A and B are shown apart, each in its own frame.
Chain A
């Protein structure tokens, strides 16, 4: 059903195509890249775009095209894993809060409020400062920051689904709480989750780039988009290709996820149908 409607939503299809392209590039990076992304080439420092360096070279003579291609891997890795992290914890906490109510709900949701009261990027910076600049820590930091968004959505959906008589009916059938949450309630909450997850992938890409840019993401030689931009910002006025291409890569990936997210929201949100 989602497929049918998505195939009629051309903006959504474009988003999907862009994401598919990103995934393909990430998977095939070694075959697409023309250079080793870490290879320093003193002779070609800050070389402008050419047949040899499609996107030019940076101040160490590293091929920006290859770095952007490999950067796709880092961005997708971080965004997908952090959203997965946030979804998992968000679903468990939100479902527990919405199903059991009472003090469990108060404690969980007040913690979520506390996390949400920080600007996301600021909190992520704080966590990175504590954990240290490693790629896996970026996943943890972003995942942690995004947990409340999922917990809130799941709690809301669980609250409304729980009201439905089929939940009462399945209790009357002799189901355990766990069976009811996982078999009967959560499957009816996936639609808003999918929408939130897709939109969040875009935020995560942006946040990962921001962290890298600030030197708190993947440690420097790694070709993450934020790192490329960070290295390039001192030369922006003279050698604009150094910033334009990684910037475009970020824009394109975020656009892809946003387009798909919007399309899915239109399709899955019953109020808009």
Chain B
């Protein structure tokens, strides 16, 4: 089966007075149609910039330096901007973190859905309206034919995010970029909204790139997981691979940093793990493996050379010298 999206060696740098910040520094990812790929990592690891790069909406002063983004066999980075605009919102759509400000306060929810539809399809207002009501119903907004006339400030956060999901899926896109779609919501609403998003995507066959720092949500909803660190993917695999058989020290650290209900912090067995060190400056990445200053198992080679990307199981990949038999780092 062809990939819904195939990113190869994407580099997006931000050029500032202090030099180039390497926000995305050689990311390769692929998502199959209908698949949900969870992209996890700390703030500033390049998750969101990767999503914006796909839409070619990297904010100033960022620039895509190199790489290929293959979508339906075409390299998005080669498309003329008019073509790209046609793809945005139609074939690839995006949901943002902050539902409070993702909808234009000056227009009703209906107006915005109708506008989005009519931007890409030649249909009448009445038809667009029917479709918008239908979509609002599908994201489980009660009384959609009434809600459609509401302004965003009439809706709660969860409702707005559902409206955003409705807008994003309105045109039955092939790829949905969901950038922390539930982070701003109440915990009780998060699962609900996520459920709706994933269910609809599966029904419509939409692939999702689900960006989050919440590992729990990824474990529940994603098919595959990519772990990013300092602008690179350090480990990628199926949900079970990552959560039960993580190989990269960063992924392991990340997993151990998650507080679980019932696991007590403080003294004793269940102490919450704190990863040493800080996320490196994107202006001045450490040589070799970017994770080595924080890695509890770093070896001499990690300081000098970047680890290769290699398969360590079916569909399970990582970039770590620990996996390289002949260059195994020393004491651990």
Q: Which residues of A contact B (CB under 8 A)?
A: 101, 164-166, 168-176, 179, 183-184, 187-188
Contacts and interface: CB of A to CB of B under 8 A. Distances in A.
Contacts of A165: 96-98, 101-102
Interface of B: 55, 57, 60, 85-90, 93-94, 96-98, 101-107, 115-116, 119-120, 164, 167, 177
A173 B116 contact: yes
Contact of B88 (A101, A173, A183, A184): A173
Nearest to B88: A174
A194 B103 CA distance: 23
Contacts, number: 58
Given A172-B55, A174-B88, A175-B85, 15 more contacts: A165-B102, A166-B101, A168-B57, A169-B94, A171-B57, A171-B88, A172-B88, A172-B89, A173-B89, A174-B89, A176-B85, A179-B119, A187-B104, A187-B107, A188-B106
Contacts of B90: 174
Contacts of A173: 88-89, 93, 116, 119, 167
A101 B119 contact: no
Given A183-B115, A187-B106, A172 B101 contact: no
Nearest to A170: B104
Given A165-B96, A169-B94, A174 B102 contact: no
A125 to B, nearest CB: 40
Contacts of B55: 171-172
28 contacts: A101-B60, A165-B97, A165-B98, A165-B102, A166-B102, A166-B103, A166-B104, A168-B57, A168-B96, A169-B94, A169-B96, A169-B103, A172-B55, A172-B57, A172-B89, A173-B88, A173-B89, A173-B116, A174-B88, A174-B89, A174-B90, A174-B119, A175-B89, A175-B119, A179-B119, A183-B115, A187-B107, A188-B104
Contact of B86 (A169, A171, A174, A184): A174
Nearest to B90: A174
Nearest to A169: B102
A187 B107 CA distance: 9
A170 B168 CA distance: 11
A41 B203 CA distance: 88
Contact of A169 (B60, B106, B164): B164
Contacts of A164: 101
Contacts of A183: 115
Nearest to B103: A166
Contacts of B104: 166, 170, 184, 187-188
A175 B85 CA distance: 7
